[in-house]
A and B are shown apart, each in its own frame.
Chain A
């Protein structure tokens, strides 16, 4: 077991606490860089979506995980980013310009959402962000001179410094990866700065933060703006990846998916955003795989346990019929959310920490280390 001996505040906020980090993340980055030469084009495409979802996840973590302001409206920020890109592209604005413009515009709108949100906490904030997202969805569908309404907009192939970057090319993947890595490093730096500490202070106790001299209103608006701007950047990449955008892509469903990303990944660390994104994006191919192969596998198991061929075939047909039921995906989503909140509130990254600690402390690991505290006493209305 490694003990970190800290003698200085600088030691406490180092980006890489010890050399192990450099090695691990170096290897991970190398693997991600050679991925296009190894993986199939389908998996590469999924990997691009993982990057985009992870960027949104990081944005949402800044707001929800670190500032404690829940938002169920991030699909709207993504939509604003995507539509800004599609609109500016029509006037032959170069990629770097509209990429930054999308982030800027989304950030400004995020700050505008942040202002009314100052007075709201908990459930009211959730409802307000849902309303904001629904209004944006309606505007996108109706403002036809700019957004083409429900017909949607085509997004032309990305051209970076005069070179065309098709959405399936490795270059596009590298671009997404670069944006993700920059976002993560930027966010890590933000979180170890005074701004980041103010965010965490607001999350833990607004009153305590205020009495320590934190300008709560300012930092809440900042958090909203930063989170929205990052989501706007992701929106540009999202638009290019899909090459076609329409209002019904940016529904409440998508906002909930983003929340699921950080919920499943873990809301207390940036690792959570990436792990959650991998989970959410990869669940689709996994379910398709189950749907195609599971009936055969179950029938095979039944056959080995002595079921006749006729029975096995019968079982196979039944399982196949069940797997192709409409809406099975929604049910599985629902069950996953409930199970995670009930049994793994710290998410996948929390599970990883528990496993790591189990082996580090073996045989002294105690389950109570990660136990959540229940508060029955306080009514949130009086807080």
Chain B
């Protein structure tokens, strides 16, 4: 039983990271119908920025964290301006390919700048553990869970309660109509990319004490975040986090109870099953096809 709870907590913590990356997918998808295959790589880059600020320049953890988030928000806007904006309105496949290309580029450049070693960021909560009876929970894992909850709530409020959030939802439904209604669509899209890069950075920095940062971490985790986003229904903010947690728990349980090899395949088996039975996901909207 104790093993089960331990596995559950570490699964939830891992799942929160998937959820945060999936949140990035969902934000961009919700606002622009673009699926950003470079989301994991944005997370990786955010982690490296934080490492530069905290590990190399010796800044305070929180200042370094904020600096990395701000820098990545700017980077997200830059990426949107240079790579994504010229092809908005073209078939989705072109956009997927562009973001795959961007991911390739970011991975290689990060490898050139920061090397190929695993890097570690010292955090205020990388050491301690919380003891509850005979249950031992590490603070770094709890911090991931807490931060995910906070971010998810903030983003949900932002999307559903603020004017800018409503503008984003409008431009995702129909860009041209949103433009006619006076919404500055281009600026809205740029802001969405900034937010999504910032969320990715949070994931990267929180992840750093658990799995370390290296140039391929984005690819590995990014691919695991797809099942999370699909399970939650592409386009639902709470869905992304719930999907991420489910995938994390499934992976963790499969690694513990099933023979070797199931751990890596389990998320994709779940994904294919979901796509087969309920393609709109757990929280997705079911939309009728129009001719």
- The interface of chain A, by Cβ under 8 A from chain B, is 64, 70, 116, 119-120, 122-124, 126-128, 130-132, 134-135, 138-139, 141-142, 207, 252, 256, 259, 263, 325-331, 333-338, 341-342, 345, 372, 374-383
Query: Is the CB of B212 closer than 8 A to any CB of chain A?
Result: no
Query: Which of B175, B227, B265 is within 8 Å of A138, CB to CB?
Result: B265
Residue contact A381 to B101, C-beta cutoff 8 Å:
no
10 more A-B contacts (CB under 8 A) besides A116-B276, A127-B226, A333-B104? A119-B275, A124-B230, A124-B275, A131-B226, A134-B268, A207-B291, A252-B223, A337-B101, A337-B104, A338-B98
Query: Which chain A residues lie closer than 8 Å to B257 at the CB level?
Result: none
Residue contact A376 to B289, C-beta cutoff 8 Å:
no
Q: How far is the CA of A330 from the CA of B219 in the complex (A)?
A: 13
What is the distance, in angstroms, from A371's C-beta to the closest C-beta of chain B? 12
Query: Is the CB of B86 closer than 8 A to any CB of chain A?
Result: yes
Query: Which chain A residues lie closer than 8 Å to B260 at the CB level?
Result: 142
Q: How far is the CA of A126 from the CA of B91 in the complex (A)?
A: 14
Residue contact A134 to B223, C-beta cutoff 8 Å:
yes
Q: How far is the CA of A263 from the CA of B97 in the complex (A)?
A: 9
Query: Which of B88, B261, B287 is within 8 Å of A141, CB to CB?
Result: B261
Q: How far is the CA of A328 from the CA of B109 in the complex (A)?
A: 8
Q: How many chain B residues touch A (Cβ–Cβ < 8 Å)?
A: 57
What is the distance, in angstroms, from B112's C-beta to the closest C-beta of chain A? 5
A-B contact count (CB 8 A): 151
Q: How far is the CA of A375 from the CA of B291 in the complex (A)?
A: 16
Residue contact B105 to A331, C-beta cutoff 8 Å:
yes
What is the distance, in angstroms, from B265's C-beta to the closest C-beta of chain A? 4
Residue contact B287 to A334, C-beta cutoff 8 Å:
no
Query: Which of B90, B92, B98, B106 is within 8 Å of A122, CB to CB?
Result: B92
Query: Which of A135, A374, A378 is within 8 Å of B265, CB to CB?
Result: A135
Top 9 nearest A-B pairs (CB, nearest first) are: A334-B105, A337-B101, A334-B104, A330-B108, A374-B89, A331-B108, A327-B108, A131-B268, A142-B261
Residue contact B92 to A138, C-beta cutoff 8 Å:
no
Residue contact A123 to B103, C-beta cutoff 8 Å:
no
- B233-291 with Cβ < 8 A to chain A: 234-235, 260-261, 264-265, 268-269, 271-272, 275-276, 279, 287-291
Q: A123-B96, A328-B108, A377-B176 are in contact. Are A383 and B289 (CB under 8 A)?
A: yes
Q: A128-B271, A326-B116, A333-B101 are in contact. Are A123 and B173 (CB under 8 A)?
A: no
Residue contact B108 to A127, C-beta cutoff 8 Å:
no
Query: Is the CB of B87 closer than 8 A to any CB of chain A?
Result: yes
Residue contact B92 to A123, C-beta cutoff 8 Å:
yes
Residue contact B90 to A327, C-beta cutoff 8 Å:
no
Q: How far is the CA of A207 from the CA of B174 in the complex (A)?
A: 21
What is the distance, in angstroms, from A70's C-beta to the closest C-beta of chain B? 5
Residue contact B83 to A342, C-beta cutoff 8 Å:
yes
Residue contact A334 to B275, C-beta cutoff 8 Å:
no
Query: Is the CB of B184 closer than 8 A to any CB of chain A?
Result: no
